[in-house]
């Protein structure tokens, strides 16, 4: 590896030229990467609800729909707006009362089933069907055009409108996230590193890695807006350690009298082992997220695992080249760091190790209880600002038509009409169902089918399927909504075993069930993967248990705090935050254990060895954790998207909690279990007998 280091050091200008040229295609691919704003689209394809969505798209042309509520407007003006919307590219059709009956008929004289669908006290409702998916460019452009023909009396809601507002908000805020993360990270690094200029070099190098990562997502067929918003910030926070490790090693080699190129060659060779070993645990954590049934996990997991790999590559090639090119500037702006010596901290932790072990044991119970009872929400529109146009319109739809969600019941066209009517009547009697709209609602039993407009027929009958539309007063993800879905599904299955209940509420119900399974699967896999890696690195069975348990305490405390604070978190946070925290901060634990083993090997007893370990390791741990905290906390403060805000807040807080646990509690556990570690670890050296250790313990206590 030293030969590779010499090549990088000698050809540093060539390395930077090649790296910069590679930015061009990366920027191009990054700009053209498809972004998905519909998180429900990541549900498994074999579910009834996702199959129902496909039938609605392929057979009924319902790839995306929107609801338009118009208040206090004469029918003739509503009709004019409808005609304008129909002419907009991307709109397939607009359904209103005039497709069924003459609008000159007073609404009071209309059949109640029809009147309640299209009219409220002073409002009317139009259903807009689009040609393509909610987040497709043509649908998004159509939303813009529709809003252009509306006035203050009109409120446009639905998945497409929410996707439009989410995209606009994400595109507006994401650059701010990155800028703030960079600024705060620079401030922390300037205070914790020995040069004012080195943070600039670090961030330029990591910037290359971030662009490469975001520019290689085409093979994933795009990424979610959550991944897009977080990828750069997380990559910055997670991979900053590697840059710090390389710089510290380079400075050590310079102090030994080596010239710059030789010092960098040795630094690259020595850093390669520690960085690759450290990155494996982080990559393993992110890859564990890919095991989610919700394929959003693959989206986040692969992008972030790839980002860590690019971070390692950049640290071993681009960063050394930049450091050598800017070496004079780096050393010209050298200064003392503001970090303390941690002498008192190391003495305090070593002297009170028994107290910290007791804290470790006692903290688990409330942490586990809090984590298990933290409230999780699944309605993603709740994560958006309340003043967005689509969110205001969604509230208006609820207020005027008492419609929180719409279910689509799909059954075979072979079922007799009388059974369809019976099924519709049963569904209508389910608690919380406002209205059931079906083909028979319009034609009744006496009206000849030939009298019904083709547009109405196509809404409910197509390709051998019958469809009913049931509106509910319950919001998706609520317990009452899930119970309602189960009752409707049981009714449908009695009439048609292959019948399907689709729509946002059924999809969300499946999402809840899958999330609970995914959370366990991801946690178990990430712990197992990281356990194995640590066991191999240390040739030990006991060390991975101690290190993982320490980080698990930090994770449980972090995830349990929302319960005690009376707040809720988005479902995706409950799955990925623990894994990210484990993968990103287990490095601190590995650093602590490695240094402890090294000091024992230098002939110190376990107390002296730990005192030295805490004193010397705390600087790197605090610098890394504070940088990670700064990069993510800034996003949590400024973000208006609650999914992003909460994820970053949890990750930022998790970095600090992990830092405290690793500096205060882990050393205590290593001291207490040092004898057990020696017996269960290959090559672990204990330099003091038990009697000598007890004597030293007595001296320390005095």
CA–CA separation, 602 vs 525, rounded Å?
Answer: 36
Cβ-contact 294, 515 below 8 angstroms:
yes
With a pLDDT cut of 90, the percent of the chain lying above it is: 32
CA–CA separation, 278 vs 50, rounded Å?
Answer: 39
pLDDT at position 160: 86
Q: Is the pLDDT of residue 444 over 60?
A: no
- What confidence category does residue 689 fall into, taking pLDDT thresholds of 50, 70 and 90? very low
pLDDT at position 520: 85
User: β-strands 64-71, 123-130: how paired?
Assistant: antiparallel
Give the CA distances from residue 657 to residues 149, 203, 341, 469, 581, in Å, rounded to whole numbers and listed in that order: 52, 25, 21, 49, 10
Closest CA to 515 of 575, 582, 577: 575
What long-range pairs does 598-603 form, CB within 8 A, spacing at least 24? Answer: 600/674, 600/684, 600/685, 600/686, 600/687, 601/685, 601/687, 603/687
pLDDT at position 474: 85
Planar angle of CA 149, 155, 158, nearest 5 degrees: 105
Per residue in 88-143, pLDDT (tens digit) is 999 988 888 887 666 566 666 566 666 777 888 888 989 898 888 887 889 999 99
Cβ-contact 197, 333 below 8 angstroms:
yes
Give the CA distances from residue 61 to residues 45, 420, 499, 568, in Å, rounded to whole numbers and listed in that order: 18, 22, 18, 37
Per residue in 54-97, pLDDT (tens digit) is 888 777 766 778 889 999 888 889 899 999 999 999 998 888 88
- What confidence category does residue 381 fall into, taking pLDDT thresholds of 50, 70 and 90? low
CA–CA separation, 243 vs 237, rounded Å?
Answer: 11
Q: Going from the N-terminus, what domains does the chain have, and what CATH number goes with each?
A: 2-33+166-379+510-695 (1.20.1640.10), 63-157+385-475 (no CATH)
Say which range, 9-18, 282-291, 366-375, has the weakest mean pLDDT.
282-291
pLDDT at position 355: 94
Mean pLDDT of 646-657: 92
pLDDT at position 691: 46
For CA atoms 450, 454, 459, 465, give the dihedral sign.
Answer: positive
pLDDT averaged over every residue in the chain:
85
pLDDT at position 582: 86
Closest CA to 185 of 255, 153, 134, 233: 233
Q: Is the pLDDT of residue 699 over 50?
A: no
**Residue 328 CA to its chain's centroid (Å):** 41
Q: Provide the 8-state DSSP code for 663.
A: I
pLDDT at position 325: 93
Q: Is the pLDDT of residue 407 over 80?
A: yes
Q: Is the pLDDT of residue 213 over 90?
A: yes
- What confidence category does residue 19 fall into, taking pLDDT thresholds of 50, 70 and 90? very high
pLDDT at position 464: 85
Q: Is the pLDDT of residue 167 over 80?
A: yes
Cβ-contact 116, 58 below 8 angstroms:
no
Mean pLDDT of 338-343: 82
Mean pLDDT of 586-599: 87
Q: Is the pLDDT of residue 153 over 70?
A: yes
pTM: 0.81
Which residues face 502 on adjacent strands? Answer: 408
Higher confidence at residue 453 or residue 267?
A: 267
- CB under 8 Å to 596, separation ≥6 — which residues? 609, 610, 613, 667, 670
Tokens 């319950």 appear where? 474
Q: At what angle do helices 504-538 and 571-601 cross, to 10 degrees?
A: 10
Number of residues that this document lists for the chain: 702
pLDDT at position 556: 95
Mean pLDDT of 195-200: 88
Per residue in 295-317, pLDDT (tens digit) is 888 888 999 999 999 999 999 99
CA–CA separation, 544 vs 554, rounded Å?
Answer: 15
Closest CA to 232 of 399, 88, 26, 472: 26
CA–CA separation, 176 vs 331, rounded Å?
Answer: 31
Q: Is the pLDDT of residue 166 over 50?
A: yes
- CB under 8 Å to 635, separation ≥6 — which residues? 177, 180, 181, 230, 233, 644, 645, 648
pLDDT at position 690: 46
- CB under 8 Å to 402, separation ≥6 — which residues? 434, 471, 473
Per residue in 260-298, pLDDT (tens digit) is 999 999 889 888 877 877 788 889 888 988 888 888 888
CA–CA separation, 625 vs 587, rounded Å?
Answer: 10
CA–CA separation, 660 vs 412, rounded Å?
Answer: 61
Q: Is the pLDDT of residue 664 over 50?
A: yes
């Amino acid at each position: 590896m030293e030969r590779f280091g010499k090549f990088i050091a000698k050809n540093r200008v060539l390395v930077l030229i090649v790296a910069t040229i590679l930015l061009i295609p990366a920027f191009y691919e990054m700009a053209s990467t498809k972004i998905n704003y519909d998180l429900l689209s990541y549900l498994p394809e074999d579910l009834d609800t996702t199959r129902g969505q496909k039938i609605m798209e392929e057979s009924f042309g319902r790839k995306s729909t929107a609801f338009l509520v118009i208040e206090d407007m004469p029918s003739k003006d509503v009709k004019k707006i409808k005609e304008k919307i129909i002419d907009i590219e991307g709109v397939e059709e607009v359904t209103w009362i005039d497709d069924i009956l003459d609008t000159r008929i007073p609404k009071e004289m209309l059949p109640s089933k029809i009147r309640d669908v299209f009219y409220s006290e002073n409002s009317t409702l139009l259903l807009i069907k689009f040609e393509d998916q909610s987040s497709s460019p043509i649908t998004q452009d159509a939303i813009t055009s529709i809003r252009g023909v509306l006035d203050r009396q009109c409120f446009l809601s639905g998945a497409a409108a929410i996707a439009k507002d989410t995209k606009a908000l994400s595109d507006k805020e994401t650059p701010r996230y990155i800028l703030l993360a960079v600024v705060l990270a620079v401030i922390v690094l300037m205070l914790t590193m020995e040069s004012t200029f080195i943070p600039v070099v670090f961030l330029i190098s990591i910037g290359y890695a971030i662009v490469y990562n975001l520019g290689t997502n085409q093979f994933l067929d795009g990424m979610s807006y959550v991944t897009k918003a977080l990828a750069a910030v997380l990559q910055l926070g997670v991979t900053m350690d590697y840059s710090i490790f390389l710089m510290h090693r380079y400075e050590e080699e310079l102090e030994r009298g080596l010239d710059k190129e030789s010092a960098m060659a040795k630094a690259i060779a020595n850093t390669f082992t520690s960085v690759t070993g450290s990155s494996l645990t982080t990559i393993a954590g992110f890859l564990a997220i890919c095991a989610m049934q919700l394929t959003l996990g693959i989206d986040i997991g692969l992008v972030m695992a790839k980002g860590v790999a690019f971070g390692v590559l950049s640290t071993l090639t681009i960063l050394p080249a930049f450091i050598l090119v800017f070496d004079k500037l780096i050393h010209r702006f050298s200064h003392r760091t503001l970090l303390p010596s941690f002498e008192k901290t190391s003495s305090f932790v070593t002297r009170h190790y028994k107290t910290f072990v007791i804290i470790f044991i006692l903290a688990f119970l409330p942490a586990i209880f809090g984590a298990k009872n933290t409230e999780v929400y699944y309605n993603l529109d709740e994560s958006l600002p309340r003043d967005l146009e689509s969110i205001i319109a969604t509230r208006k739809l609820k207020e005027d038509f008492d419609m929180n969600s719409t279910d689509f019941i799909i059954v075979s066209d072979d079922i007799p009409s009388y059974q369809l009517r019976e099924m519709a009547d049963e569904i209508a009697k389910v608690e919380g169902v406002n209205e059931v709209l079906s083909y028979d609602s319009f034609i009744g039993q006496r009206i000849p089918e030939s009298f019904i407009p083709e547009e109405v027929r196509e809404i409910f009958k197509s390709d051998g399927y019958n469809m009913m539309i049931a509106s509910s007063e319950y919001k998706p993800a609520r317990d009452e909504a899930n119970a309602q879905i189960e009752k409707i599904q049981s009714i449908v299955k009695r009439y048609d075993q292959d019948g399907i209940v689709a729509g946002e509420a059924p999809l969300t119900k499946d999402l809840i069930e899958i999330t609970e399974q995914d959370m366990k699967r991801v946690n178990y896999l990430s712990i197992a993967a990281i356990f194995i890696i640590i066991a191999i690195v240390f040739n030990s069975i006991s060390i991975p248990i101690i290190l993982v348990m320490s980080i698990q305490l930090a994770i449980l405390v972090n995830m349990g705090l929302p319960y005690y604070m009376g707040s809720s978190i988005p479902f995706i946070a409950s799955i990925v935050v623990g894994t990210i925290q484990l993968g990103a901060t287990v490095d601190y634990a590995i650093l602590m254990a490695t240094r402890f083993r090294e000091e024992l090997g230098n002939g110190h007893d376990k107390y002296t060895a730990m005192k030295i370990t805490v004193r010397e390791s705390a600087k790197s741990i605090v610098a890394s954790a504070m940088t990670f905290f700064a990069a993510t906390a800034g996003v949590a403060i400024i973000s208006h998207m609650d999914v992003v805000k909460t994820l970053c807040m949890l990750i930022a807080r998790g970095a600090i909690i992990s830092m405290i646990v690793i500096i205060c509690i882990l050393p205590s556990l290593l001291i207490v279990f040092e004898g057990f570690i020696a017996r269960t670890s290959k090559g672990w050296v204990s330099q003091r007998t038990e009697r000598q250790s007890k004597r030293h313990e007595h001296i320390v206590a005095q």
